[in-house]
Amino acid sequence: MGTPPEGPSRRITLADVGRAAGVSSATVSYVLNDVPNQKISEATRARIRRAVEELGYTRSAAARALSTGRGDTVLLVLPPWPIGPLIAEVIDGLTDDLGRQGLSLVTRRELPQRSVAALWRELAPAAVIYFGEVDVAERQAMRRAGTYVTSISGQVSDDAADLVTSTTGSGPLQVAYLAAAGHRRLGVAVPTDPRLGSLPDGRLAGIRAACAAAGLPAPDVRPVALDVAGADAAVAAWHGSVTAVCAYNDEVAFAVLHGMRRAGLRAPSDLAVIGVDDIPTAPFADPPLTTVKQDIAAITAHVSRLVGAGIAGAPPPPHPTRDFLSVVSRESA
């Protein structure tokens, strides 16, 4: 029913705890926040903690945010492209990892209408994590206001300070794997979803650079739509001219494999195919899909540490040397 709350539902406050423990609310705040240089006896601390326990006190995020000028939330800005299982995993990992540090992950889709800056001002999050490119001016404004800003990005960043986490290198890894298997003429299958924006370009650049570095000819890049006939033309063009194709991701790889089946071609003999992501169905592709896997758990763990340190004003943790990337070799390449 629409009846307003009534009766015994008053919120338990710091003052309530203080009263129960026989101290002021300030003291409670001190012990709850482990404020240093505040010599409070162990006995008092224990009494306070017990009162907290007994009353079931939880502090108000709003009040805390208001008085400190900064909340315990971390804003993850989701790009407008479709959220795949990978991003889901990232959200997941970040929620867990940050939660362990007392931070609440808040997710916001980046929409053309609503500016991130507006949401940022409203929420006053402790940090914001971008997923991809960051507007330089926006980032600076946030930093000036004391918000830690970082990004999980495919691009190499120009922001020396903390935009460090890179999840690329998948393209080069695909190329290296195929080159090691003796392939020299490579195709690249790029998706056609316009929502992906310039994302495929970055991946593509990585592949092109890797080909050049390895002394391979420039790859034969072709769009593959995610529908049943999407790969037909590309497969026809590749067949004979190219011996292996790097797919933008596993979904595109599935489309390519399907196109090959329609053309009576087999992987890897007629055309080797390698994906990116290792989605759950990758092992059940026909043939089972060789793909590049990102260690999402490691990525989120690192980003969480980065954010934690950044908020505390501590030096950032050393950037992991390994690349969070590996190829899982199955049968398609």
Partner DNA sequence: CTGAAAGCGCTTACAG
Chain positions contacting a copy of itself, by CB under 8 A: 1-2, 4-5, 7, 9, 11, 58-63, 65-66, 69, 71, 73, 78, 83-85, 87-89, 91-92, 95-96, 99, 104-109, 111, 114, 118-119, 121-124, 144-146, 161, 226-228, 250-251, 254-255, 257-258, 261, 279-281, 283-284, 286, 288, 313-315
Would the CA dihedral through 66, 101, 34, 49 be positive or negative? positive
Contact flag: residue 49 with DNA (CB under 7 A): no
- Whose Cβ is closer to DNA: residue 15's or residue 88's? 15
Residue 32's binding partner out of DNA, a copy of itself, none, with CB under 5 to 8 Å set by partner kind:
DNA
Phi, psi for 326 (deg, rounded to 5)? -155, 155
DSSP 107: E
Residue 80's binding partner out of DNA, a copy of itself, none, with CB under 5 to 8 Å set by partner kind:
none
Residue 192's binding partner out of DNA, a copy of itself, none, with CB under 5 to 8 Å set by partner kind:
none
Residues 178, 158 contacting (CB under 8 angstroms): no
Q: Report the alpha-carbon distance of residue 316 to residue 310 in Å, rounded.
A: 7
Contact flag: residue 11 with DNA (CB under 7 A): yes
> What are the residue ranges of helices labelled H in the chain?
14-21, 25-33, 42-55, 61-68, 85-100, 116-123, 136-144, 170-180, 199-213, 232-238, 250-262, 296-312
DSSP 166: B
Six-digit token string for 154: 């495919």
- List beta partners, residue 222: 189
Burial of 319 (0-12, 13-18, 19+ CB in 10 A): exposed
Residue 71's binding partner out of a copy of itself, DNA, none, with CB under 5 to 8 Å set by partner kind:
a copy of itself
- Whose Cβ is closer to a copy of itself: residue 65's or residue 176's? 65
Contact flag: residue 145 with DNA (CB under 7 A): no
Residue 9's binding partner out of DNA, a copy of itself, none, with CB under 5 to 8 Å set by partner kind:
a copy of itself
What residues line the site for DNA (CB under 7 A)? 10-15, 18, 22-27, 29-30, 32-33, 35, 38-41, 44, 57, 59-60, 63-64, 66-69
